[in-house]
């Protein structure tokens, strides 16, 4: 089955992308590129100040980008529970987890 690039881009408009490590390495660039293409981004970060900087940079380039930030510390079970509760409260599907 042949899928065109346009079809893939239309599909991306409906995706929810949860990015672990979205504040360092290739995370911010991945978030920027996907947000530019219309993907709703959830940045899961231990440091919300860094996540805010990433969000602000994305929204400077793509003002209509939807970037949601949620705090998570993977070394803390209570933080994982809180993150899950907060994410589920958004009532959004999770299409991609990176």
The Cα–Cα gap between 7 and 17 comes to 18
The Cα–Cα gap between 58 and 74 comes to 24
Beta strands in 32-86 (DSSP E): 40-45, 67-71
- Residue 17: per-residue pLDDT: 56
Per-residue confidence at 18, pLDDT binned at 50, 70, 90?
low
Q: Is-contact 10 36, C-beta < 8 A?
A: no
- Residue 98: per-residue pLDDT: 75
pLDDT digits (tens, 9 = 90+) for 48-90: 898 899 999 999 999 999 999 988 887 888 888 888 889 889 8
Residue 45, by phi and psi: left (phi above 0), alpha (psi -120 to 50) or beta? beta
Q: Which domains does the chain have, with CATH numbers?
A: 9-97 (3.40.50.720)
Dihedral sign (CA 34, 35, 36, 37): positive
The whole-angstrom distance between residue 34's C-alpha and the CA centroid of its chain comes to 9
């Amino acid at each position: 089955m042949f899928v065109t690039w346009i079809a893939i881009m239309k599909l991306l408009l409906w995706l929810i992308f949860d990015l672990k490590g979205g504040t360092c390495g290739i995370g911010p660039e991945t978030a920027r590129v996907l947000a530019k293409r219309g993907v709703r981004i959830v940045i899961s970060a231990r440091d919300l100040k860094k996540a805010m900087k990433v969000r602000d940079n994305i929204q400077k380039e793509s003002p209509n980008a939807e970037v949601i930030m949620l705090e998570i510390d993977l070394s803390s079970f209570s933080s994982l529970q809180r993150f899950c509760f907060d994410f589920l409260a958004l009532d959004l599907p999770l299409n991609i987890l990176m």
